[in-house]
Structure 1
Amino acid sequence: MILTTALVLSALPLAFAQAGQAPYKRDIACTTKSIRKSWTDLTKGEKQNYIDADLCLMSLPPKSGIKGATSRWDELQYAHAAQARYVHNVGAFLPFHRYFVTVHEHLLRTECDYNGPLPYWDEPLDVGNITRSSLFTGEPSFGGNGVGSDNCIADGPFANITLHFKEDLNTTDYCIARSLNDFAFSGAARTNVDACLKHDTFVDAWRCLEGNPHNAGHGGVLGTMINILLSPGDPVFYLHHGYLDRLWWEWQSRNLSMRLTDVAGSNTPEFTFPPGGFPGNGTGPPFGGFPGGNGTGPPFGGFPGGNGTGPPFGGFPGGNGTGPPFGGGGGFVMPAPDKAFEDHFNDGGNVTTLSHTLWSAGIMENVTIADVMNGEEGFVCADYLL
């Protein structure tokens, strides 16, 4: 197991108690809503301004006191990696990522002068031809596929960006990696999305959205994006989770009076991360029979070979700077359980409630799930243009 307890404990007094540098606070009055738009609907100038703002965060020095961080971008990646166990396959999955996307947006606007729409990736449009997506081709874009044994992206504005945090929260230098894969991306099909939106309860909708739609975005990009802890290193992460947040808001809006308070689930993962890697039959969690739900063959139906050998994925392309994806050929290894996190959820037990604390390692103030349930008010303050 990767041991992160000591590192996380050292961060908790800073973040949960809000000691040290005071984090930014969002205007909870929500006087001016930010606009959420598909990347394809942005003008060329808006696209360039957004990319420039992300590059700005990658160049700004850290401010939150996180050991090892060299930039604001590093701090965002750390905030996700340090609590990965508690924001995936748990009731807080959708609320946390709505909060996290908003934290990223706030930094873009307050520190990098970005004033355009917040883009999301309308993923069903690119099913079957991910390499031709406007996200990865044309000018401007996020750059294309990875090359070489490490699958480092070789073109575009992020080709020479160096990431730093590893799964154990120590640091090393590595690139943003991608290995675009249509088979893995097939779970993003609109039929799968529509199936999720038909569910009546939060628990069923969350589990469905965290299945095919969520995992298709990560799996279709691969490289850095497939690493559950480190995926925010690739700026595509925020457009992917902006899209998932839009889907959750679309589900909420179909019965808003009821669904603004509908949250449930557990605060610890609903399955155990096995020390030898993910289950091989592709059924159930973590990826709901990813992609497409058929769960045939080796994990995820068997990915093409790369520089990894053996399980998982039968030789899955690597390139995240810490060996093949998921910690090496033996499978993905999550951080060990950490009581320091569990004691600060404020739910009074293991069931996720509206009082649940959402944390960003001191980058912004802690909020509760209740603070982000209405995406068009309060902390989030967005117009999703449904």
Structure 2
Amino acid sequence: MRLAILSSLALLAIAPPSSVFAEADCSEPLVRKEWRTLSSEEKQSYLSAVQCLQKTPGKTSDSYPGVQSRYDDFQAEHIQMTDLVHFVGFFQPWHRMFVAQYESDLRSWCNYTGAQPYWDWSLDAVSPEAFLKAPVFDAVDGFGGNGPYVDSANDPSVVAHIPGKTGGGCITDGPFKDRKVSMGPGKSTKLNPHCLRRDIAPEFAASKLNSTMVDWVLSADNFLEFDIRVQGGISADAATYHGGGHRGVGGDLGEIADIYSSPGDPLFFMHHANMDRLWHKWQHLDWDTRQSDIGGPDTQFAYPFDFFGTNPSYANVTLNYKMTYHNLVPGPFVKVRDVMETQKHGLCYTYE
């Protein structure tokens, strides 16, 4: 099913184009680490900061009526921008800044002193059984686990049925079991409080998130091919590790599987931080060439993502392409060139 293109393209013109970053010193970059390598104290500090952001008043409720907190600002912006920033050439640059702003807010709004962690799912996707035991699902030092099983075989709201799903209900443990997600499912930003649901599909996850898949994606010779491999196709069969992370945890009914409202699950940021790590890794396999390698269409589903044969008009994304975030970040525009390096133009982090 083709995603509807947002009718609010006019929002892109609410302010004159500008670059939000100035050159800044980055002599001591934050070091993003894999979740399982953190101490229990470090994990609890991060989880507490996320909960703090979920209780801190938001800034975008005038634009998005469902926003109740600063955390909701991120979900609302993702809902609003989904049909503009997926299956386009700036998908990865846009999400790099999105996660960086989240990291910055955890630190500046909630006194978090660490970096944004990432979840290297390839370490857990060695088997379905191992995936279910991933440390990120721990009830104490993690994000909680699955919801109870809900039969969704005949649910008309399910766009893509994921084989081997095991949950679908509200999560029953962990620090977010009583949290009410403010918006979604789908692309409405109206207030719709509901529980956080997960629907883990371990066999699907193990097939899409394993090291073989990662190695294949990283073997791409140029950014356009790399990005095609990262984003995969729109069907479950055609998914690679982007869709594998969302649907491997979200199955049919989980929040993180909803292409619009997926940031409602805090695991979204762990997943996308790992994707950013892999882009960073791919760049540094040939840094001289890849530090400026970008490409792909500026229009969803245009070539090379023309899944529907509609051939929409498009322009190729360049380093000067201006990405919009509305009121989520200062600006509201960020040029692609400003996020090509993780230690320049205001970004200041690396990966361990």
Fold-level match, TM-score > 0.5? Answer: yes
Question: Who is 1:233 aligned against?
Answer: 264
Establish whether residue 213 from structure 1 lines up as the match of residue 241 from structure 2.
Answer: yes
Distance in 1 (CA, whole Å) between partners of 2:21 and 2:54 is: 21
Establish whether residue 193 from structure 1 lines up as the match of residue 210 from structure 2.
Answer: no
Q: Is the 8 A contact 1:153 1:178 kept in 2?
A: yes
> CA 1:61/1:17 → structure 2, altered by over 3 Å: closer, same or farther?
farther
4+ residue runs over 6 A deviation: 24-27
Question: Who is 1:86 aligned against?
Answer: 84
Q: Deviations over 1:301-338 (max 9, x none)?
A: xxxxxxxxxxxxxxxxxxxxxxxxxxxxxxxxxxxx9x
Alignment of 1:114-133 (within 5 A): 114-127=112-125, 128=127, 129-133=130-134
Question: Equivalent of 2:32, from 36, 41, 55?
Answer: 36
Deviation at 1:360, TM superposition (A): 2.3
Distance in 2 (CA, whole Å) between partners of 1:36 and 1:26 is: 22
Q: Is the 8 A contact 2:59 2:70 kept in 1?
A: yes
TM-score, normalisation: structure 2 = 0.81
> What letter is aligned with 1:124?
S
Q: Deviations over 1:56-104 (max 9, x none)?
A: 1110011234331111111100111111112111100111111111011
Q: Is the 8 A contact 1:66 1:75 kept in 2?
A: no
> What letter is aligned with 2:174?
G
Question: Equivalent of 1:377, from 337, 341, 344?
Answer: 344
> Gapped runs of 5+ residues in structure 2?
151-167, 233-239
Deviation at 1:18, TM superposition (A): 8.7
Deviation at 1:27, TM superposition (A): 7.2
For the residue of structure 2 that corresponds to 1:378, the secondary structure is: coil
Alignment root-mean-square deviation, CA = 2.6
For the residue of structure 2 that corresponds to 1:218, the secondary structure is: helix
Distance in 2 (CA, whole Å) between partners of 1:194 and 1:376 is: 25
Q: Is the 8 A contact 1:163 1:174 kept in 2?
A: yes
Question: Who is 2:137 aligned against?
Answer: 136
Distance in 1 (CA, whole Å) between partners of 2:17 and 2:321 is: 16
Question: Who is 1:327 aligned against?
Answer: none
Distance in 2 (CA, whole Å) between partners of 1:77 and 1:252 is: 28
Deviation at 1:195, TM superposition (A): 1.0
Q: Deviations over 1:103-134 (max 9, x none)?
A: 11011011011111321001111112222110
Q: Is the 8 A contact 1:18 1:362 kept in 2?
A: no
Deviation at 1:196, TM superposition (A): 1.2
Q: Is the 8 A contact 1:152 1:175 kept in 2?
A: yes
For the residue of structure 1 that corresponds to 2:117, the secondary structure is: strand
Q: Is the 8 A contact 1:85 1:268 kept in 2?
A: no
> CA 1:370/1:157 → structure 2, altered by over 3 Å: closer, same or farther?
same
> CA 1:54/1:210 → structure 2, altered by over 3 Å: closer, same or farther?
same
Deviation at 1:377, TM superposition (A): 2.5
Alignment length, in residue pairs?
308
Distance in 2 (CA, whole Å) between partners of 1:67 and 1:270 is: 26
Q: Is the 8 A contact 1:86 1:269 kept in 2?
A: yes
> What letter is aligned with 1:359?
T
For the residue of structure 2 that corresponds to 1:152, the secondary structure is: coil
More deviation, 134-143/185-194: 134-143
For the residue of structure 2 that corresponds to 1:358, the secondary structure is: strand
> What letter is aligned with 2:63?
I
> What letter is aligned with 1:206?
D
Deviation at 1:271, TM superposition (A): 5.7
> Gapped runs of 5+ residues in structure 1?
273-283, 287-336, 343-348
Q: Is the 8 A contact 2:89 2:294 kept in 1?
A: yes
Q: Is the 8 A contact 1:30 1:378 kept in 2?
A: no
Establish whether residue 5 from structure 1 lines up as the match of residue 26 from structure 2.
Answer: no
Establish whether residue 97 from structure 1 lines up as the match of residue 95 from structure 2.
Answer: yes
Question: Who is 2:64 aligned against?
Answer: 67
Distance in 2 (CA, whole Å) between partners of 1:145 and 1:353 is: 41
Q: Is the 8 A contact 1:28 1:378 kept in 2?
A: yes
Distance in 2 (CA, whole Å) between partners of 1:92 and 1:27 is: 22
For the residue of structure 1 that corresponds to 2:99, the secondary structure is: helix
Distance in 1 (CA, whole Å) between partners of 2:23 and 2:269 is: 21
